[in-house]
């Protein structure tokens, strides 16, 4: 009896079981050390083939053929490959166009994923940028960004969906209005202080100059008074002693 697993043609061997032995020498290179035949129920006419380390290149047509001296059956089907990528990560890229630019990134998706930004009301936000690239293994990496304007969105979410599995991964970030340009009270206060700072410095300089001059005049008066007192004491010492009879 022969059990042959193959790709689109029987000559493209994925796994071959023949004469109660597994013949790995006829196996295609890309499937070597990646297949395992489960034949516990082989006497009942049922076997399973386990394929390890699935990659995008594995998808496509496959066939299985049972062959013996008095029996032959074959089945062909199409294998679809799907993979969920990493959890989305949202980072703050800075201020741009009067708002905050956020970037969402994730990697390791297959097939090509779909990304979507939403605000706290569940309404879609148009992306500013979206880039999806395929790596050497055939997996897709995604980056997308959005600009959040002040006073509009307190919670912003980025979701990435696998259209084949109909599953998605989502990440939500909360942005306080205090960090949004144009609506930030601390920013208005900071700008107000910058505008009033020159006037405050001028006032403090004038006040310091006034007290400095006042102290200087006081010191000069004290010095003049001390010199006058010293002069009076010198005159008193110079007067002759009164005559006595």
Which pLDDT band holds residue 222 (cuts at 50, 70, 90)? confident
Helix or strand or coil: residue 38?
strand
DSSP codes of every residue in 146-177: EEEETTT-SEEEEEEEETTTTEEEEEEEE--G
Q: Would the pTM of this model clear 0.85, i.e. be above it? A: no
With a cut of 70, say whether residue 37 has pLDDT above it. Answer: yes
Tens of pLDDT along 127-166? 999 999 999 999 999 999 999 886 555 789 999 999 999 9
Distance CA 187, CA 193 (A): 10
pLDDT at residue 191 tops 50: no
Higher-confidence position of 176 and 110: 110
Q: Give residues with Cβ within 8 angstroms of 103, minimum separation 6.
A: 90, 91, 93, 143, 144, 145
Question: Percent of the chain, pLDDT > 90?
Answer: 54
Query: What is the chain's alpha carbon radius of gyration, rounded to the nearest angstrom?
Result: 44
Using the predicted structure, report yes or no on whether residue 74 has a pLDDT greater than 90.
yes
CB 16 within 8 A of CB 26: yes
pLDDT band for position 231 (cuts 50, 70, 90): low
Tokens matching residue 56: 């995008």
What would the mean pLDDT of 173-187 be, rounded to a whole number?
61
């Amino acid at each position: 009896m022969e059990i042959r697993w193959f790709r689109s043609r029987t000559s493209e061997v994925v796994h071959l079981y023949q004469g109660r032995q597994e013949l790995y020498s006829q196996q295609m290179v890309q499937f070597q050390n990646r297949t395992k035949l489960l034949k516990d129920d082989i006497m009942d006419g049922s076997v399973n083939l386990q394929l390890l380390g699935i990659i995008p290149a594995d998808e496509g047509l496959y066939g299985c053929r049972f062959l013996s001296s008095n029996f032959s059956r074959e089945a062909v089907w199409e294998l679809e490959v799907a993979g969920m990528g990493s959890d989305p990560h949202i980072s703050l890229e800075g201020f741009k166009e009067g708002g905050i630019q956020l970037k969402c990134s994730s990697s390791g998706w297959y097939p090509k994923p779909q990304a979507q930004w939403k605000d706290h009301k569940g309404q879609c936000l148009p992306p500013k940028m979206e880039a999806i690239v395929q790596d050497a293994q055939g997996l897709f990496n995604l980056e997308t960004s959005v600009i959040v304007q002040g006073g509009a969105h307190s919670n912003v979410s980025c979701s990435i969906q696998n259209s084949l599995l109909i599953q998605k991964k989502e990440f939500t970030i909360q942005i306080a209005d205090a960090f949004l340009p144009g609506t930030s009270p601390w920013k208005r206060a900071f700008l107000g202080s910058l505008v009033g700072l020159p006037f405050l410095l001028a006032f403090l300089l004038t006040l310091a100059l006034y007290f400095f001059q006042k102290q200087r005049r006081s010191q000069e008066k004290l010095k003049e008074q001390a010199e006058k007192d010293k002069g009076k004491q010198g005159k008193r010492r110079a007067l002759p002693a009164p005559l006595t009879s």
